[in-house]
Amino acid sequence: MKCDIYQNINTFMIRNPALPIENYYKLFSKSINKEQSNEYIRVLCNDTIFRESILVSSKDLYDKMIKFAKGGKISKSDYFFRSIYKYLIRMTTRSTPFGLLAGIDFRQYSDNETSIFYNESRFHKFARPDFEWIMKLVKEIEIKYYQNLWFKNNAGIFIKGDRAVLVYSTVKNEKDNIDEISIRATSAFKTTYELTKQRIKYSDLKANLLEKYPLENEEKINNFLKQLIESEFLISNLRPPLTVPDQFEYLIKEIRKSNINEKLLENLVSIQRGIDIYNNTVGGNAEKLYLGLTKKMNDITGAKTPLQVDMRINLKEKKLQKNIVNKINELMNLLLSLSKKNNSLTKYKEDFIEKYGLDREIPLLEMIDNDLGIGPPASYIHPRNNRLVYYDENEIIDEKVREYFLQKHVYALRHNFNYIELKDDEIENLNLPKYSYDEIPNSIELDLIVKSDSQNEIKDQNLHYFIGPFRGSTHAGKSFGRFSHVMENSVDFFNKLNKL
């Protein structure tokens, strides 16, 4: 018997579509004609739960639904119906969390049998301002009220010769892309850089520069600092860290501390209260509240989706048998034996040793620079490696493995099977190189679909497990991060994960 590769962290995420699969069969039954299909669409357009879900996902489609429900004529009706079909399919068959279309929950594994049942109220909303809206508001305040704020230099600044380079920023060019930004590393810039290694009030920063450069007037110093703020070489105390539980609460506190525009502060606090009220509404009863909230937010600063909405499943029982972890470890032993070693990071490590030698500490921003360092890893998109690319996804699969799966695929087609069966003895006969324990990921997470044919099958624990389309990732907890605000005791979970 092969040993377990990975330790169980005793936490799993459940993801489930918002609507039962029966709603899918109602619309896509072979016995339903076009007239009945259109009538069912009209019923959906009058269903408040479905309508609110569409409102959160697509305001344009929601407006057309309201018009259609009232008997109005819809231009491009085929496109309208196809859009409704796609959202209904998603709400009934896809568990990928998005708005009110699917929900999630978290639980620890159980020694008891697998059992998953809903409460009477199936879902609970978790709305918060979208981070794009927050950052747009922050940038506007930074430009308008910069003299009230505290500033610190951007940790992504890299001095390269006589230029100061900012590798990462949120400033987009005319094509809506993010480019590397650079400015001259003048004496004034270097002085500012040193003064802002720790957070400093704008008035103190300006006073220091005026003292250092007495021949320069105040307006010129202000314009110089504003340029650094706009290009994000200086970032203010308003920018919320991703590590705080509530970025909107953080922003409100910093605005209050900075004595900025009482009216703006009142409006933000009002939005915060409105979000709390919306989060406590039952699905389908809050269209007007959502519309009012997003209007108030867009009145402050415009964004395509000012409010981000997630949904947690209200489950009466959420038990998953611990034995599944043992089966996952067996599966990982099998899959790792079929995988081919990815040489991209190994080659990257060799490049590092060749340039810098062993046991060297190099500033990260220097290392990923294409001119001074070895560039970023070959698989990075931003920044991209301009050197020789030696990473090819098509080379990951061994030819023996490719041939093995091809034979299995052909066999399944000939016998009309909808699956292929992998056997340990067949894989051993391939004589593949053994994987190295040191080269496999330190942790993983897997996306599994748990399926049963009926409620009785669940009671009998006759369950089937399938690897989902998301598959997972090579970092345990990676997919949990975006939903940490939905988790209970999320800080404890991630602290525990980091200690393993």
Question: Mind listing the pLDDT tens digit of every residue in the chain (500 residues)?
Answer: 466 777 788 888 888 898 888 888 888 887 788 788 888 888 889 999 999 999 999 999 999 999 988 888 888 888 999 999 999 999 998 888 899 999 998 888 877 777 777 776 778 899 999 999 999 999 999 999 999 999 999 998 988 889 998 887 777 665 566 677 889 999 999 999 999 999 999 999 999 999 999 888 899 999 999 999 999 999 999 999 988 889 999 999 999 999 998 999 999 999 999 999 999 998 778 999 999 999 999 999 999 899 999 998 887 777 777 777 777 778 777 877 787 665 667 778 888 998 998 888 888 888 988 888 888 887 777 777 776 555 444 454 577 888 888 999 999 999 999 888 888 888 888 887 777 777 777 888 888 887 777 777 766 777 777 887 777 787 888 888 888 888 888 888 888 887 77
Instruction: Give whole-number Cα distances, 109 to 4, 106, 170, 319, in Å.
Output: 17, 10, 40, 6
pLDDT in tens, 135-180: 999 999 999 999 999 999 999 898 888 999 888 777 766 556 667 7
Cα–Cα distance measured from residue 330 to residue 252, given in angstroms and rounded to the nearest whole number: 50
Cα–Cα distance measured from residue 103 to residue 110, given in angstroms and rounded to the nearest whole number: 21
Place of tokens 């000012």: 306
Question: Quick one: pLDDT at residue 175?
Answer: 59
Instruction: Give whole-number Cα distances, 477 to 31, 364, 481, 493, in Å.
Output: 44, 25, 7, 9
DSSP state string for 187-235: HHHHHHHHHTSS-EEHHHHHHHHHHH-TTS-HHHHHHHHHHHHHTTSEE
Cα–Cα distance measured from residue 261 to residue 138, given in angstroms and rounded to the nearest whole number: 13
pTM of the prediction? Answer: 0.81
Paired strand residues for 318:
116
